[in-house]
Chains A and B, each alone.
Chain A
Amino acid sequence: NAGVTQTPKFRVLKTGQSMTLLCAQDMNHEYMYWYRQDPGMGLRLIHYSVGEGTTAKGEVPDGYNVSRLKKQNFLLGLESAAPSQTSVYFCASRSDRFPSGNTIYFGEGSWLTVV
C-alpha cells in the first residue's frame, strides 16, 4: 500500500551543493507533480509531467530540473542549492481516468534545508 514514496525525507545541504529528490508511485499514474510548501504560500507547483519522457514547468520552476525516464519515477534536481530553496517538497501523482483522475495523491514530503 505504498502509493507515492519520496526519498530522502530529510536533507541538509550547503549553498551550492546539488541533490536529487526521488519520487516513486506504484499506482500506474500518468501524471506526476512536484510542489513546494512554504509558510503562508500554500502549495506551489514546481514542475510536472504528463507521461513518461515528458516534463513541463509549473509556477516556480527556476533553480530546479526534473526527469521522468520511467513512468513510475519523477526526479527533482537542485543543481546549485540556495537558501531560498529551503522548503518542504511534495511529490504527487494522479490517474488520467475520469472521474478518479481529478484527485491527486501526495507523498509524505521531503524536508530540505539549505544553509
Chain B
Amino acid sequence: DQQVKQNSPSLSVQEGRISILNCDYTNSMFDYFLWYKKYPAEGPTFLISISSIKDKNEDGRFTVFLNKSAKHLSLHIVPSQPGDSAVYFCAAITGGTSGTYKYIFGTGTRLKVLA
C-alpha cells in the first residue's frame, strides 16, 4: 500500500517555463513533507520542506504547496533550468517519538528540462 504516490514517472519542460511536480498521500497523520532531488549516480539531496501547519513554503525558485484537504503536495520550479533535470522524490514524515519518525518516500518523478 503506497502511502505516498507520485503518479507521473516523468515530466519534460522547456527551459524558462514552470515545472510542477505532484505528490499525493493517503495518511492524514503525516506532519511534515520534504522534497529531495537526485542526480544519476548520486544520493538524494534535500531540496525543500513544509510543515503540515503551513500551506506554502518558498525558497528561491522552488515553492512547495500543501493542500491538506486534498492530501496533495506539489513542487513548483520557476523558471526551470537544465540543471534541474533530475529525479524528484517527495517524502512524508509520520511521527511517534522522535526516534521512530517514519519517512515514507514516493516513487519519484524524472524531470527533464529542455534547453
Which A positions have Cβ atoms within 8 angstroms of B? 4, 30-31, 33, 35, 40-45, 50-51, 56, 90, 92, 96, 98, 101-109
Contacts and interface: CB of A to CB of B under 8 A. Distances in A.
21 contacts: A33-B103, A42-B106, A42-B108, A43-B91, A43-B105, A50-B100, A56-B100, A90-B44, A92-B43, A96-B98, A96-B99, A98-B98, A102-B32, A102-B101, A105-B46, A106-B36, A106-B44, A106-B45, A108-B41, A109-B41, A109-B43
Nearest to A30: B99
B99 A107 contact: no
Contact of B99 (A4, A42, A50, A90): A50
Nearest to A97: B98
A90 B89 CA distance: 14
A14 B100 CA distance: 35
Contacts of B107: 40-42
B22 interface: no
B14 to A, nearest CB: 27
B22 to A, nearest CB: 15
A42 B89 contact: yes
Contacts of A33: 103
Interface residues on B, range: 20 to 34
B77 interface: no
Interface string B92-110: 0100001111110111100
A42 B107 CA distance: 4
B34 interface: yes
Contacts of A98: 98
Which interface residue of A56, A104, A105 has the most chain B CB atoms within 10 A? A104
